[in-house]
Amino acid sequence: MSAPSPATLDHLFAEASRRRKSWEPLWQECFAYAAPVRAGRLGEAVRTQDELFDGTACDATEQLAASLLAELAPPWSRWFELTPGTDLDEATRAALAPELERATRVIEGHFARSNLYVELHQCLLDLVTAGTATLLFREAPLGAPSAFRFTAVPVTEMFVLGDADGRITRQFRRTSPSWGQLRERFPAAELPPELMARMEEEPERPAELVEAVLAAEDGWHYAAFIPARSAGLPTAVVLARGRFAHSPFLTFRWLKAAGETYGRSPVMTALPDIRTANKVVELILQNASIAVTGIWLAEDDGVLNPANIDLSPGSIIPKAPGSAGLTPLETPGRFDVSELVLSDLRARIRHALLVDRLGPVDGPRMTATEVLERSAEMARLLGAIYGRLEGELLRPLLDRAVHILRRRGAIPDLPVDGHTVEVAFRTPLAREQARQDVRNVLLWLETVERLGEVARPLVEVGAAVRWLAERLGVPAEFVRDGNPLTLLAQAVGREERP
354 and 283 share one domain: yes
Asked whether residue 482 carries a pLDDT value surpassing 50, the answer given is: no
Mean pLDDT of the residues in the chain: 83
- When pLDDT is cut at 50, 70 and 90, the band that residue 492 belongs to is very low
27 plus 79 within the same structural domain: yes
- Number of residues in the chain: 498
Asked if the structure places residue 360 within a domain, the reply is: yes
Of 414, 439, 457, which residue is a domain's last?
A: 414
Residue 431 CA from chain centroid, whole number: 20
Q: Is residue 321 part of a domain?
A: no
In terms of domains, do 216 and 358 share one? yes
Within a domain: 305? no
- Nearby residues of 138 by Cβ (< 8 Å), 6 or more positions away: 148, 149, 150, 151, 248
Mean local confidence (pLDDT), 122-142: 96
Residue span of the structural domain in which 476 resides: 427-498
Strand partners, 211: 173, 224
pLDDT of 476 > 70? The answer is no
Residue at 202 is within a domain: yes
User: Would you say residue 313 lies in a domain?
Assistant: no
What pLDDT score was predicted for residue 448? 83
Distance in angstroms (rounded) separating the CA atoms of residues 469 and 480: 11
On the question of pLDDT at 475 being above 90, the answer is no
- What is the model's pLDDT at position 35? 84
Whether 171 and 65 map to the same domain: the answer is yes
Q: Span 303-328, mean pLDDT?
A: 68
Q: Give the chain's domain count.
A: 2
Q: Among 367, 389, 414, give the residue marking a domain's end.
A: 414
Q: Which helix (H) or strand (E) holds 428?
A: helix 428-451
Q: Are 389 and 450 found together in one domain?
A: no
Task: Tell me the HSE value of 473 on the side-chain side, using a 13 A CA sphere.
Answer: 18
352 shares a domain with 462? no
Asked whether residue 79 is assigned to any structural domain, the reply reads yes
Order of strands across the sheet that contains 219-226: 158-162, 168-175, 209-216, 219-226, 237-244
Question: Are 68 and 182 in a shared domain?
Answer: yes
Whether 391 and 432 share a structural domain: no
In a domain, 421, yes or no: no
- DSSP secondary structure, 87-123, as one string: TS-HHHHHHHHHHHHHHHHHHHHHHHHTTHHHHHHHH
Instruction: Write down the pLDDT at residue 334.
Output: 56
Same domain membership, residue 336 and residue 466: no
pTM value? 0.82
111 and 154 share one domain: yes
Last residue of a domain, one of 414, 445, 478: 414
User: Could you tell me if 246 and 345 lie in one domain?
Assistant: yes
Going by pLDDT thresholds of 50, 70 and 90, the confidence category of residue 151 is: very high
pLDDT at position 233, please?
85
285 lies in a domain? yes
Residues 172-225 have pLDDT tens digits of 999 999 988 998 999 888 888 888 888 888 889 999 999 999 999 889 999 999
For 375, half-sphere exposure in the C-beta direction (CA atoms, 13 angstrom radius) is: 17
Q: How confident is the model at residue 481 (pLDDT cuts 50, 70, 90)?
A: low
pLDDT of residue 40: 45
pLDDT at residue 491 in the model: 46
Per-residue model confidence as pLDDT tens digits over 389-426: 999 999 999 999 999 999 999 999 888 888 889 998 88
Mean pLDDT of 114-137: 96
Q: Are residue 44 and residue 123 in the same domain, yes or no?
A: yes
Whether 195 and 226 have beta carbons less than 8 Å apart is answered as yes
